Structure 1
Amino acid sequence: MIEKYHIPDNLKKKLKSKKKYSKQVKDKFYWCLDMLLKNPKHPSLRHKPVQGASDKWEFSLTMNYRCVYRKENNEAFILLIAKHEGAF
């Protein structure tokens, strides 16, 4: 179970920018992080391991955006937020 998450500085800047992500995506990102800590099996997260990568996981923010993170012990290291088709 995830107990803590880390957001890299470059992603924090993108989240503060008004140009990179919509308010909906930003709000949903923080809601999903909170839910990941409380209930990673919540159906709206669509939380699952990234195929072919043993330490990477993903969850959906919207129908168009997903978040990918690296799981290490009980911590999530956020790697990226991207459109589904552009995440990999």
Structure 2
Amino acid sequence: MHKEVIHLLSDGKSWPVIFFQHSIEKPSVISGTGWRGFAMDNNLEVDDVCAFELIEGPKTSMKVTIYKMQAVEDLSLGK
């Protein structure tokens, strides 16, 4: 298992989080107080979807696009 601090980027802000990379057979995990802060600052709720895009640079960073479940439901209902 590999562990490192990475930065999540969203809406011009950055959150340092702990990233645990397991073997190929197991999923990777983002954890720690940084993740809690990211989730709270972005009002994440159950069923929201986060898409992660690796950003090249001196520090490992991921751009995060958040798809709020309510917005997706509204689109599917034609609202």
- TM-score scaled by structure 1? 0.29
Question: Computing the radius of gyration over CA atoms, which structure comes out larger, 1 or 2?
Answer: 2
Which TM-score applies when normalising by structure 2?
0.30
Greater strand content: 2
Instruction: Specify which structure has the higher proportion of helix.
Output: 1
